[in-house]
Amino acid sequence: MRISTRGIGYSAIATMVLITLLTIGGELSEPFKTSLASLTGHHWVSKGVLSLVAFAVLSAVLGAALKEEGNIRKTSYIVSASAIVLAAVIFGFFVFEFFA
């Protein structure tokens, strides 16, 4: 079975979105953060496990489903830009929470 780099890239983006949502959700909802912690003992570990599972499943599905169209450089740029934007979202959220 051939796995496409495009599928892996989209899997990485989806996983980063998941991490961003879990992080912000955990900060906004104490019961949600507690439920994350109850899975593995700490909410950070739970986010890591959920992210790893999501990336593995999405990589298998999208990597096999998507054709290798486009180039690796473009996919890399999209993944990198997504990481920067999502990091800015998390940073902005915490700055807002600190000053609000």
Summarize pLDDT for 37-66 with one digit per residue, the tens.
Answer: 999 999 999 999 999 999 999 999 988 887
Collapsing DSSP states into helix, strand and coil, what is residue 42? coil
pLDDT exceeds 70 at position 78: yes
Cα 63-69-73 angle, rounded to 5 deg: 90
Q: Which of 66, 90, 49 is nearest to 9 (CA)?
A: 66
pLDDT at 35: 96
pLDDT exceeds 80 at position 1: no
Domain that includes residue 67, residue range: 5-99
Summarize pLDDT for 7-45 with one digit per residue, the tens.
Answer: 999 999 999 999 999 999 999 999 999 999 999 999 999
What own/partner pairs with CB < 8 Å and gap ≥ 24 does 60-63 have? Answer: 60/3, 61/7, 62/4, 62/6, 62/7, 62/8, 62/10, 62/11, 63/3, 63/4, 63/7, 63/8, 63/11
Q: How many domains in the chain?
A: 1
The model's confidence at residue 6, banded by pLDDT at 50, 70 and 90, is: confident
Arithmetic mean of pLDDT, 71-77:
90
* pTM for the structure as a whole: 0.90
Q: Are 61 and 55 in contact (CB under 8 A)?
A: no
pLDDT at 100: 80
Rg (CA), the chain: 16
